[in-house]
Amino acid sequence: RYFQEGWVYLRPSFYYISSSEKSWQESRDDCLQRGADLMIINSKEEQEFARQFKRLTWIGCTDRETEGVWKWVDGTAVKTSFSYWHNGEPNSYQSKEEDCGEIKYYEDENSWNDEPCNKKNFWICEKVVAQ
C-alpha cells in the first residue's frame, strides 16, 4: 500500500520526482494527469525533501491570478508566517512577470524564488494519500 512505482512516500503523501524539465503549467498538467498536483510545501520535512535534489524545481505556488498574492494550487494562501522565500524574493524581477514559484538557492534553507512561468524546470508532484 505504501509502495507505488516511481513515487516516494513521505507521510501523508506520495511524491513524483520528474526527470525532465517543463514550463510551470506543463509541469502542473503532468501532475494532474498522474492524479496529483504540483507539490505544496507546508512542513519543514517537505521543504528539506524538495531541497535535497539540488536542482531548479517548480513547486505549486503562483501569483498569476493577482500580482503579489501568492496561492498554492489547492487555493490556500502562501502564509508569510510559513514560507521559505530566499532573501529578497519574491521580487517579480524587472519584468514583473515572475508569477511561478521554484526551489532555487539550494545552499540556503530559504530557497524559494519567483520565476517566469514559461521557464523550463524540473518539478515534483504530490498526491495526498493518508493523514
Question: Would you tell me which residues interact with ligand 2F8 (CB under 6 A)?
Answer: 89, 91, 93, 98, 113-115
Here the cell at position 11 is 507521510
Contact criterion met (CB below 8 Å) for 60 and 76: no
Q: Residue 52's binding partner, choosing from ligand 2F8, Ca ion, none, with beta-carbon cut-off 5 to 8 A by kind? A: none
Shortest CB 115 distance to Ca ion, Å:
6
Interacting positions 68-127 with Ca ion (CB under 5 A) = 89, 91, 93, 98, 113-114
The backbone region for 6, taken as left when phi is positive above 0, alpha when psi lies in -120 to 50, beta otherwise, is left
Q: Residue 46's binding partner, choosing from Ca ion, ligand 2F8, none, with beta-carbon cut-off 5 to 8 A by kind? A: none
Residue sitting closest to ligand 2F8 (CB):
93
Cα gap 125→32, rounded to integer Å: 9
Q: What is the Rg, in whole angstroms, of the alpha carbon atoms belonging to the chain?
A: 14
